[in-house]
Amino acid sequence: MPKLKQPTPLKKRAFDFIVTHCASYCHQLSVKGDLEKLRQSITEIKSEVFSWLPPILNQLSEFCERFFDEFSKFGKEMAKSGGRVRSMTHRKIAVEIMMDVEIPGLRCSDLHLECANRSEYRRFQSIEVLIMQSPSHAFPSSKAMSYFRLENLIEIWLITRCNNQELRIIGTHCKKLQILNITYSRYVTDDGLRALQMCPDLRVIDFVGSVISNDCINELLSTHKKLEEFNIIKHDYLPWAGRVEVYDPCSRPRELVCPSIRRYCARGPVSEANLTAITVLFPNLTYIQFCCQFFSDLTILKNLKHLTELSFLSSYSILSHVRHLLTTVGENISSLEVKMSFRGNEYFKQDDVNFVYKLCPNIQELILPYDPNAPHDILVVPPFNKLKVLSLKNSSSWEATVEFHQLPELETLMLANFTPIVQIVERAMFDNVKFPKLKRFCSMLLTARRDTGLDDLNTVARERNLDFKILTISDHDL
């Protein structure tokens, strides 16, 4: 019998009810067109409900995000069912739930900012996280950061829109900044990055897509003693951008070691000299990502004594390099990710999966592309004892299926292009012997649309109170 859901803690259930009730009530006022009452209700929620939420639990921030999401969801459902589309005026009032009050841990994103005028941005009084991935055209194109309260910001994403002027504002006012993502901002240069010298707590920075010199990056590494990573690919892998060399580690004197760096991404052609420099300059690496073409074997990485996570994002043949490296460091590896951007000759086959099983006894996360030997081939997943996350993608046009040995710790399963997917998931869902801890299955969006039986399984799980859920994700996440 599959594992049943545990009862929701009373405090969480009460919190969920209050959020949904407040959002639903405001939605009904919006449907009636009573804007005055809607604004008054938002004010009353801030004065009455907020005082009930303990600030130490950071529930104010969660309440605001959940309230706005629920309010927006009700509006979308209304429009989808044939009702009228909610006007921006109503959403502008709803976003005031975040304004004019101190909210520890407040997160603001494009979805919130598009509902406010730039003159109102300072009404978000205590922003700690500011996420601007795709700002609307109304977003200020010059000195955008000057419209916000900056003193509490810990994390900033300013994708494509950043420039040296913005970085000077950030460097001057964001003394608590730890994470900065300014990817694909082509107007950022060395001068802009040097303005961040006044952010002493910087831990993570991503400036891929900007033209930054090796000298400037070396200054960055020397100045920011707490820096843990830069330019790691966390989302979509774009071969045309990802392969471009951003930094040459050979440009840094070997004696200028960076002990704080924990995560590193190697791009462009990688030679033996590059790998040697990486191991010497960044001796405490726990994670290394390769987005490159290799011109040397990787066994020198055995000198990285703390290395536990490997990621290979490539359009080149890399399987032989992966196997060679695992022969050396496999016992220490807890996470292995391999994603190929184009069809190649060296996707993982059954023998390669068995090889990983044999060499990596402590692996907890495994993400692989699979290539069947023939149509209707069967991939048999070995009994990984510690595996918690498994993602497999059939990268061939041939149909293939998958079978499993016992996976006692597996919590998340992701499969793409395996058939028959509904039957595979159903067997896993009800097999408490092979999958005693399985809680979620992630399906590609197109698969979920094609195989509506996955929705039926979600319904069955809810009706039987099973601790199992089927989620839909994009192809890039597999």
What pLDDT, on a 0 to 100 scale, did the predictor assign at position 448?
47
Q: What is the DSSP letter of 301?
A: G
472-475 long-range contacts, Cβ below 8 Å, gap at least 24?
A: 472/442, 472/443, 472/444, 472/445, 472/448, 473/414, 473/442, 473/443, 473/444, 473/445, 474/444, 474/445, 475/416, 475/444, 475/445, 475/446
What pLDDT, on a 0 to 100 scale, did the predictor assign at position 29?
94
Which residue's entry shows tokens 């006022």? 29
Once rounded to an integer, what is the mean pLDDT over residues 295-316? 88
Is pLDDT of 168 > 50? yes
Is pLDDT of 36 > 90? yes
32 CB contacts (<8 Å, ≥6 apart)? none
Once rounded to an integer, what is the mean pLDDT over residues 102-128? 92
* Runs of H (alpha helix) within 411-468: 421-430, 445-450, 453-463
Q: If pLDDT is split at 50, 70 and 90, which confidence band does 239 have? A: very low
Is pLDDT of 236 > 70? no
Taking the CA of residue 227 as centre, how many other CA atoms within 13 Å lie in the half-sphere pointing to its CB? 23
